[in-house]
Every structure is written in structure tokens, then in C-alpha cells.
Amino acid sequence: MTSRRPVLGPPVALLGAVLAVRLPFAVVHRAVHATRARWASIPEDPRRAEEFLAALRHTARWFPGRAACLEISLAAVLLSAAHRRRLDWCLGAAPDPFRFHAWVACDGAAVAASLSAPGEDGEPPPYRAVVTI
């Protein structure tokens, strides 16, 4: 018998993230921090994190509201926590003050699928983490 992933995982995680980002940031910060402290202490595998991100992006295409980097990265953290694994949720900015981004990392290394599209030189934009949870 093969194990299957729950079909409702990514849609439920995305909906939870969309609702959570409407709360005060301090509440979301405490909630994500609490999941890490209580049951999501094992680091997530980067390949599995990329699979989660791909599933969440696919789900986000069908979502009628905003589902951008902030919501998708938080949903990946929630989805990973539901599987008792830990992803770092990073919020940062590029040197120009109008480019902000949210991404996930595994043990401090950014998951490539969570960074935005590469620039002209093929490298992702130089986002600097401001907050990492």
C-alpha cells in the first residue's frame, strides 16, 4: 500500500495563510514561533519544500484573491508544520526600498523555488532577510 498526501493539504494551508496575514503581525509571529517550539522541530527537506511550493503555486492560480509570495511562503511553513517539519519563514527587501519579498529557507539556506524569478544575469535578486521566523 502506498502512502498518499492529503488532497486538501495545500488548499487548506493557503486559506489559513490568507486569513493569517490579515491578523496583526505579532499574532502571526507568535503562532509560527509556537509551531516550531512545540511540534515542528525537525528541519524540512529542501526537495520536499520545493514540492510544497509547487503545489501551493498551483493552488494559488485558482484562488480568487491575492496569493503572492507572502501568502505562499506562510502556507508552505504551515503545510510543513502540519507534517511536523520546520521551515524558516523569511521576510526581506532588496536594496531598492520598493522591492519586498517573502520566502522559505531550510536551516538558513533559501529554497530556490521560493525566490522570485532570476534577473538579467540569471541570479535571483539580492533580497536581504529582515525577519526570519
**Inside any domain, residue 33:** yes
| Contact status, residue 53 vs residue 104, Cβ threshold 8 Å | yes
Higher pLDDT, 47 or 3: 47
Pairing label, strands 85-86, 42-43 = parallel
Q: Which residues pair with 90 in a beta bridge?
A: 103, 132
What local confidence, expressed as pLDDT, does residue 120 receive? 46
Interval 121-132: pLDDT, tens: 445 567 888 888
Tens-place pLDDT, residues 20-39? 999 999 999 999 988 888 88
Reported as a pLDDT band with limits 50, 70 and 90, residue 95 is confident
pLDDT digits (tens, 9 = 90+) for 51-82: 999 999 999 999 888 889 999 999 999 999 98
52 domain-assigned: yes
Asked if residue 3 belongs to a domain, the reply is no
Phi, psi for residue 40 in degrees, rounded to 5: -115, 65
The total number of structural domains that make up the chain: 1
Q: By residue range, what is the domain housing residue 128?
A: 10-132
Residue 21 located in a structural domain:
yes
